[in-house]
Structure 1
Amino acid sequence: MIDFEFNESQKMILSSLEKTLNENFDIRSENKKVEGLEYSNHGWEEIKNLGFLGILSDEKNGGLELSFFDFLLTLESWGNKLCEGPYIENSIVIFMLEKFNKNLQNNLVKDLSSSKKIITSIVSEQLINSRNIPILNRTNNGFVVNGQIKNLPYFMESTNILSIALLDNEKKLLLLDKKSTEVINKNKTITGQILHDVKIEKLELSNDRVLDSKKFNLPEIYLQLFTLSKCAESVGIADAILSMTNHYLKTREQFNKPLGSFQAIQHIASEIYIKLSETRELVRYCGKLSIEDKKTKKLISLSKIKCDEELSKIAWTSHQLHGAIGFTWDYGLHLMTRKILLNKSLNGDPLFHSKNQFI
């Protein structure tokens, strides 16, 4: 196993984040969200107030100028407390603008880092499924776009939408103003997250609204970064599941002994720990790699396969170790399982990512 030692800066950031996210975390609110009785995104306001929206942007743009690895560490804490909000989407766009698209960089990155503008996106699903992709046509002054975008998360929190559009059968990234779209439908995920379907009709865009690069495939890079980010979030959720399970095994007694004292239970708990540790270390290792490295795509896909195969098993095994209480509504373990399964359904299945191992 790889030992990722944290430096003092990382320890300080994680300590501050975990303390802040712990303060307002309430299982009852999360249950009400799943039931549709209230709508809230735990952690979103906290992450903005801490200034973490600029975690990946340069200091000159009002950011913290930290690495993508540091960002992934915050996502483990983010997932651990079932946080919701366009933190991942916003951060990835900042990272890509500063690295691959200097033309749009300065003002937009500053606005994103300070939360004056917030971006939501469903680019990864558009790219994988090749559906719900608007059509982009050239005009004398720029472009005009028509089409629909479905299942947008965090629409109410955002000011802008990042989407794929087809221009002469090539997939391009474009940035839309939310106010220029029309909501035509709403859906809800198993975690209570609200998704919006929007329509775009004859919307005129200036040239700088299309994010392009002659050297890099930006939609593909977004998919890789988003997939890795959701893996880190899932690792954080699985860590919370393991903590809940360990606490239960230490405090729940059977035959006047703690459940955790039985060897059969210890073996199962050890297997959970090993699965989680292996998955976490693979995800963190990917965070250390350059996105331009050819092997990074393969390893990110391997991380996604590992998360899909192992973390859902951790969730179901933990339910079994808890017994009946693990399936009760108020205990909250089901919330972690729901989020793990939701993340598993995103960014392609193991078959899709297995193909990347042979590129």
Structure 2
Amino acid sequence: MDFDLSEEQRLLKESVDGLLNSSYDFDSRKKYAAEKGGWSRSMWNKLAEQGLLGLPFSEDDGGFGAGAVETMIVMEALGKALLLEPYLPTVVLGGGFLRRGGSAEQKAGHIPDIIEGSKTFAFAQLEKNSRYDLNDVSTSAKRKGDGWVIDGEKFVVLNGEAADTLVVTARTGGGQRDSSGIGVFLVPGNANGVSKKGYPTQDGLHAADITFTGVEVGADATIGDPEDSLPLIEQVVDDARIAICAEAVGAMDESLKSTVEYLKTRTQFGVPIGSFQVLQHRAADMFVAVEQARSMSMFATMAADFEDAKERANAVAAAKVQIGKSAKFVGQQAIQLHGGIGMTMEAKIGHYFKRLTMIENTFGDTDYHLRRVSEQGGLV
């Protein structure tokens, strides 16, 4: 199987790497984090100007018709840069629901704004006791005339405070954990009855707890079948898992490079500590863990096009297991090899470990996905 990038994909990689290398060093990231919502609007506009916000959308919708490989390339670069801007919640999640389940009117009403950078999204899915189960939904959506009334609470909504539009999962029928009776709704971020409590997360991003109290939306707010949208939710969330696997690879790759560079420059007993064989072995183990994660990220990326939903989900779960294991190992080794400085806010290596830890717990941790793979009898 050919894993080489095409000429267009290589140009994309060079383009996004060049943009981030010139505009997103660690000091710039600190400044961006201090802006409203925890990210930079000017940087978001640069991503739009580069065409990165329109990559996965079809040419008919104004995008570039790129696939999962192109998203992998971008997400890996964003991981290396520790990007704060809401690419995942807006382009991958919000855009994913529009691409895969949106009506022609919904696509026309939202996708051009995403592509030009004037609108951001957030996926309001997690609830107080739902853990990682996408079918555990207690937020309700009840019919009122031709529209719906939404009531409930969502937690740790990435970009929830700043998002112009919220993609909300809500139960239209059945019990709290039933697979049927779940709908997906587009809700304006400033709609009457929407209250938000924003806060920074451990990795420097921003999230919000959101309460919906009698929020009224029209019939045109539903994406897909309001009575049976779980398959759509699972597919889009798998897209997001694939994307954050690639982001983790980028963060691990940069963690390894920073650690090796530190081993070459930090001296002890009059020599660089990188000359000590035991530390060389630990760096070599980090390299192996990164490459294992990279191979599984590529496998998950290919799985995005699997027609069989169970086969796709199993492949993505297996990738998430390896990503979680590698992220924990690489992050811990990087901190230890940096010594005390690795624990300070001024050293970027600790920020990579924080982001890797959050990725490991996003849309299912290692234990959760290992159980999913085992229930399917393994990967092969």
Once the two structures are TM-superposed, the CA of residue 102 in structure 1 deviates from its matched residue by: 4.1
Taking the aligned partners of 2:19 and 2:344, their CA distance within structure 1 comes to: 28
Q: CA deviation at 1:323?
A: 2.2
* Paired amino acid for 2:188: D
2:144 corresponds, among 139, 149, 153, to 139
Give TM-score scaled by structure 2 length. Answer: 0.85
Matched, 1:342 2:342: no
Q: How many Å separate the matches in 1 of 2:189 and 2:350?
A: 33
The answer to whether the 8 A contact 2:37-2:162 is kept is: no
Deviates most, 196-205 or 263-272: 196-205
2:178 aligns to what?
Answer: none
Selected match of 1:320 from 336, 348, 353? 336
Aligned to 2:321: 305
Equivalent residue letter for 1:80:
K
Which letter maps to 1:319? I
- Output one character per residue of 1:265-311: Cα deviation in whole Å (capped at 9) or x when no partner: 22111111111011111111211221533311111111111111121
> 1:12/1:29 Cα in 2 relative to 1: closer, same or farther (>3 Å)?
closer
| Match among 186, 200, 211 for residue 223 of structure 2 | 211
Partner of 1:162: 167
Runs of 5+ unmatched residues, structure 2:
175-180
Q: Given the superposition, is the C-alpha separation of residues 166 and 110 from structure 1 closer, same or farther in structure 2, using an over 3 Å criterion?
A: same
Instruction: Kindly indicate whether the alpha-carbon contact (under 8 Å) linking 1:33 and 1:191 is maintained by their aligned counterparts in 2.
Output: no
Q: Deviations over 1:65-119 (max 9, x none)?
A: 1111210110010011110222112223334433344443333323322233321
Which secondary structure does the structure 2 equivalent of 1:196 belong to? Answer: strand
Cα–Cα, structure 1 residues 21 and 308, in superposed 2: closer, same or farther, change >3 Å? same
- Structure with the larger RCO, 1 or 2 (CA within 8 Å, 6+ apart): 1
Is the contact between residue 292 and residue 326 of structure 2 (CA under 8 Å) also seen in structure 1? no
**Cα offset for 1:192?**
3.2
Post-superposition CA distance 1:185-231 (Å, at most 9, x none)? 33331123332222222222222211124697112112212222122
TM-score by length of 1: 0.89
Paired amino acid for 2:67: S
Q: Is the 8 A contact 1:133 1:165 kept in 2?
A: yes
Q: Secondary structure at the match of 1:128?
A: coil
In 2, the alpha carbon distance for the partners of 1:185 and 1:124 equals 15
- 1:170-194 deviation digits (Å, cap 9, x = unpaired): 2211110011153343333112333
Change (3 A) 1:63 1:258: same
Q: What letter is aligned with 1:91?
A: V
Equivalences for residues 1-359 of structure 1 within 5 A:
4-28=3-27, 30=29, 40-41=38-39, 43-92=43-92, 93-103=94-104, 104-123=106-125, 128=132, 133-169=138-174, 170-180=181-191, 181-213=193-225, 217-289=231-303, 290-293=305-308, 294-357=310-373, 358-359=375-376
Deviations 1:229-251 (A, max 9, x none): 12211111111101101111222
RMSD (CA atoms): 2.6
Give the secondary structure class of the aligned counterpart of 1:198: strand
Residues 56, 185 of structure 1: alpha-carbon distance in 2 compared, 3 angstrom cutoff: same
CA displacement 1:298-327 (0-9 Å, x = unmatched)? 111111111111212101111222223323
| Cα distance between partner residues in 1 of 2:249 and 2:160 | 25
Quick one: distance in 1 between partners of 2:197 and 2:172? 26
Q: Hey, what's the Cα distance between the residues in 1 that align with 2:194 and 2:98?
A: 27
Q: Which amino acid aligns with 2:292?
A: E
The letter of the residue matching 1:182 is: V
* SS of alignment partner, residue 329 of structure 1: coil
CA 1:235–1:173 in structure 2 vs 1: closer, same or farther (change >3 Å)? same
Query: Would the alpha carbon gap of residues 203 and 210 (structure 1) be closer, same or farther in structure 2, given more than 3 Å must change?
Result: same
Unmatched segments (≥5 aa) in structure 1: none
User: Deviation at 1:332?
Assistant: 1.8
Deviates more, 1:112-121 or 1:156-165: 112-121
Q: Which amino acid aligns with 1:41?
A: W
Distance in 2 (CA, whole Å) between partners of 1:10 and 1:197 is 38
Higher mean alpha-carbon deviation, 318-327 vs 97-106, is at 97-106
Assess, with a 3 A threshold, how the Cα gap between structure 1 residues 142 and 72 changes in structure 2: closer, same or farther. Answer: same
- Matched pairs, number: 357
Summarize the Cα distance change of 1:61–1:176 in structure 2 as closer, same or farther, 3 Å threshold: same
Give secondary structure in 2 for the equivalent of 1:183: strand
Q: Which moved more, 1:159-168 or 1:110-119?
A: 110-119
Alpha carbons of structure 1 residues 52 and 32: separation in structure 2 relative to 1, 3 Å = closer
Cα gap change, 1:37 to 1:54, in 2 (>3 Å) = closer
Seen in structure 2, the aligned counterparts of structure 1 residues 216 and 165 have a Cα distance that, compared at 3 Å, is closer
Q: Secondary structure at the match of 2:14?
A: helix
